Amino acid sequence: MSTNLEGPIGELPHGRPPQTVVNDGRDYPRLGTVSFRRGTLTPRQQELWDDKWPTYGRVLDDAVIDTDSWFGRSAPTILEIGSGTGTSTVAMASREPDFNVIAVDLYKPGLAKLLGAFIREDLTNIRMIRGDGVEVLHRMIAPESLLGVRVFFPDPWPKARHHKRRIIQSGTLHLIASRLKPGGVLHVATDHADYAEWIDERVDVEPLLEYKGWPWNESPILTDRQLTTKFENRGLSMDHTIREYLWRRK
């Protein structure tokens, strides 16, 4: 499996990121120009990043992932889109030692925190991809290869003119369904009321997905996030209601 070692390790190419064009009549999120929040790595984080990223990380590219090779084993795989600083990623992966977990995010300092956390915890079942989650699904994930996809507290894009950027769209639900094995699970969580209404209107839009609601005790993957993330805590402090959604790939 190729790893991007040209130039700074784990850096995205400059300029507007590429976006896969799909003309199937479904709605896909429109990827705008990516502007990264300010944030630099500490010297220790940078040292760990330079040392460990070639093993545990990849930058978005067009090579389909061979999970057996990357993880050094054959195991069910879960993709988490928008892992942030990896709080829930580490908490859940530690309870899922027999599952491979691939965390996807654009923000380097968040991935660096995740890397440091799972190295300290001596977890060997986490890998990371730096890039847009929808593009990762399009370009790097083989059809019917995942047992689970997680989308926890995605950007709600609250302004109406930005709703086209929301990740939960009819096209994304179809794309996720195509990457799940039969019986695989999509788990979404949000604390944004308007976004919850948006998702409510789309729970049955994808024929390949059977909406299971919440909770679903027979789910083949862990659905208890174990702890609250900083974004979730922020929402709870403002009396937001956490809504969770589960679908099964038919």
Annotation: binding site for substrate = 159, 191, 229-232
Neighbours of 128 (CB within 10 A): 26
Q: Which residues are annotated as a binding site?
A: 80, 105, 132, 155, 159, 191, 229-232
- Is residue 250 within 8 Å of residue 202, measured between CB atoms? no
Q: Which residues are annotated as a binding site for S-adenosyl-L-methionine?
A: 80, 105, 132, 155
d(CA 37, CA 40): 10
Please count the residues of the chain: 250
Pick the catalytic residue: 24, 66, 68, 155?
Answer: 155
Q: Is 155 a catalytic residue?
A: yes
CA-to-CA dists, residue 208 to 170, 179, 212, 226, angstroms: 12, 11, 13, 29
d(CA 124, CA 38): 29
127 strand-pairing partners: 102
Residue with tokens 């896909």: 28
Q: Which residues are catalytic?
A: 155
